[in-house]
Each structure stands twice: as structure tokens, then as C-alpha cells.
Chain A
Amino acid sequence: MMEQDIKIETLIVMSVAIFAVLATVAFLVPFEDSNTKLFFIALVTVLTAINVVGLFMVWQSSPTIVDEVFLMTPTGMLLKHYTRRLRPDQDTDIMAGMLTAVQNFVRDSFDEAGGRLNEIRFENYDILISHTKNVVLAAIISTKKPEKLRVELKNANDDIEKAFGERLSHWSGDKSELGDVDVLMKKLLSGKYRK
């Protein structure tokens, strides 16, 4: 769907193209007087502006659909997993570990400066990854609008780090020691980090 693929750059290109076509028409059509011509050009400008604003609002209002979220430690231990889909064949602990292993591999193979892998794209899926010192949040989305979710993930991750980072830095692996991280995760999943 177009709505799913649309990016802000696409909107600008489309609007400029519409304006160009209408403006060309305005100059080519033999108007009877200059006032009529000016009126037509003004009309074209207003219509184009409405078009830009309208498309932008459609783009902004359609939410990014998150399929799965993994809350992990940087060492690959799964703390929480949230999903919209039932995948009985999937072991989420192993998935979290392998996701971390892939990140380690990419970082160690390609980046000498110790950077981090922030995104993995595969056909219709994007995996967005947000890192802080003690927390990693990975979201799998299928709506191709990662730019909107990236900020939400980062804000949620910063809050989780602030609330649980210290505890996680010396976490023994006992899940009952984690505390109620669900409150912040629910805030993320219900779109409350959306600006």
C-alpha cells in the first residue's frame, strides 16, 4: 500500500510535480487577461499547498505497526517479549540471543570504532534496535516507517535505562528481581511515546 511505503521525501517530490504540471498548464493556456492568469496561478499554489498538508497529515496520522518487541540485555538475555502474532515454532530466548550474536558479528566485522547495529531490513520487515548501557530494545515492524518508531524506541529505552539500568548492570538472572518494567513497555506499546 502507498500509505505504508510513503516517506516525507516522496511527499515533497509528488507535490512539486503536481505544482510543476499545473504551473506549466497555467503558462501554456492562452488566458484572456493577466488577472485571470494570476487568479489561476494563485489557485494552483493554494491547491498544491492543501495537497502537501493533506498528504503530510495522512502520513503522520497512520501509525507504525509494531509486530514484536524484544527487551534484552546487551549480552543477549531476554527480559521481556511482546508480540501481536502467535509463533509457536519460535523460541524467543534463542531469538534474542541470536539477534545479539548477529549484532556482535556485524559490529566486530565492519566497525573498528565500536559502533552499534541500529537497523536490519529483510523484505517486508524492519528490525529497529535501540541501545543504552544496560538495555537493548528491538522492535520488528512490517509497515516500513521506521523513522517514526526510532524516536519512540529511544525515549522508551532511555526511561527503562533510568529506572532499571543500575539493577540490570549486576542482574543475577532472577526475573523476580527485575521489577515492574511492564509499565514502561505498555507506555511504548500503546503509543504514549508518540509525539
Chain B
Amino acid sequence: MRNWMELKEILKKVVLLGDGGVGKTSLIARYVVNKFDDKYIATIGTKVSKKDIQVVRPDLIINLKLMIWDILGQKEYSKIRTSSMSGAQGLILVGDLSRPETVRSLEDFWLKEVKLSVGNIPTVIVGNKVDLLKKESMEAATLEAMGERLGYPTLLCSAKTGRNVEEIFSTLGEMLLEGVVSTAKTRKEKAPQTLAEVVDFIVQDFCAQYGDLEKAMLIVQHQFEEAGVDIRKPSKDAVLRALDGLAKAEELTLTKSVARVNLEERQRMVILSKG
């Protein structure tokens, strides 16, 4: 029934783990928003960075913010590591393909620790420094076999050349967004009936698409006042006038075409409503 795009903003906490020196920090350095120096990893055991990913689906645009917690790789500091892992919803496990012991410890140590702390979460296994690898390397095969056995996607990449680095985040992003559907689908698209219900639906929809609830409500309030909408007993004419104002606000924040589609759909709902 609805044919406009819904915008969703989703925040996910992702932890980056692996032995010291495998290249975790280098892996994210060029591809994420870094606001703090890498020295924080050595001083407080963690550094937080952010990666924004936009996922477009037929009726849904998702702005996914991956908050990436790069955690100290020294195995002794388990207490601080456990605190930092708390609430993690995704995991990137990194091994150094030129150091076999770091690949083995992914399953033997890191994965066990994550399972103890946060349970089973979407995981991507990464073999870094593929640029140093000789052809038909045993380590790459071992890593891929491990990923297959555990059921996790495996990527061979290089922080130095940039090979497959973006794919790490997009693969994990897709895994984290599995099951995310538009609010319309969640609500099974039960159309509002009375004019009051339609108005309520439009306000909620406008706020959800606008993003900033506080500003959105101010705009709604202003447009309703301008159009003379009595929220307790709205009239169709007044609501239709207010819709024009809301569409103008959406032209500035979304796009003209999205604002026009929204306006037409909302006008149709108001006209068809009872009351």
C-alpha cells in the first residue's frame, strides 16, 4: 500500500579482536571516522571509531552506524577487554596470514572469549596481510576452512593495499541488518481509518522520516498552527493545508521526489478517511 521509502537509523556496536600486531588498527585506519589517536588503545585498552554504511532496500533506506571498538590485542588484559565487549552486536576477528599462531588463536582463544562474554553474535573472520602471502599458502586455506566449519564469512584482505577492507564492513553490515524490515511491514500495513488516526499516523511518519524528533515535532506544530488544525477535532481541509507545509519541509531535508510521493500518499489517506 505504501510506496515511499522509509528511513531508518540503526546503531550497532562492533568489536575488533585478534592478537597484537595482526593489523587491526591499520585495517580500520583508512576506512572509518577516527577522532582519537591510536595511542588510546595502549593507554586505556580501547579506541572507538565509526563507520557509516547506507543500505538501500526496495522500501527502506538504512543508515547503519557501526561503532567499532578496537580492543587491545594483548591476551593478559582480559578484564578491560570484557568490559569493552559488553553489549557488542557484531565481531570482526583478525588474524595475520604471515603468522600462523595468530590464525590459530582466533578459534582457540578469541572466539571462546567472545562467546563467554556476549554469546553468539554475527562474525566475520579476516585474514590480514594477504599482500605478504605466497601463492597457495596454507594459512589462507586454514582460515577459510575455519570460517566454513564455524559458518562465518571469511575474507582475505590487506590493510596496506586496501584489498577487501570495505567488504569486511559491508559483509558484517548485511549480517547485522538481517531481519530489519520497514515499519510498514512490521505493522502489517493496517491502514488508519478515522481522520484523527490518519493525522496521528502522518505525524509519526513525518517524524520517523525527518530523523530529528525534536525538530520534526516543532515543524509539525508550526504547520498545524498555520493551517488551523485543531488536533482534537481536525478538519480535512485544514489537515490538507498542513500537508503542503510538511512537504515543503521534507523537500529541504529529504528530496523533492520523496516529498512529493509522501504528499500524494498522505493526501489520499486524508481524503479517504472517515470523519
**A residues neighboring B (CB under 8 Å):** 73-78, 89-91, 93-95, 97-98, 101-102, 104-105, 107-109, 172-176, 180, 182, 186
Contacts and interface: CB of A to CB of B under 8 A. Distances in A.
A78 B35 CA distance: 16
**Secondary structure class of chain A's binding surface, majority of residues:** helix
B35 A74 contact: no
B86 A101 contact: no
Contact of B10 (A107, A172, A180, A182): A172
B67 A108 contact: no
Nearest to A106: B44
Nearest to A180: B213
Contacts of A93: 11, 50, 65, 67
Interface of B: 8-13, 33, 35-36, 40, 44-50, 65, 67, 69, 79-80, 83-84, 86-89, 180, 183, 208, 213-214, 217
**Secondary structure class of chain B's binding surface, majority of residues:** mixed
A102 B67 contact: no
A118 to B, nearest CB: 17
Nearest to A102: B44
A98 B36 contact: yes
B118 to A, nearest CB: 10
A26 B272 CA distance: 88
A82 B262 CA distance: 29
Contact of B46 (A75, A77, A104, A174): A104
Given A93-B65, A108-B80, A182-B213, A78 B13 contact: no
A101 B44 contact: yes
Contact of A176 (B48, B83, B183): B183
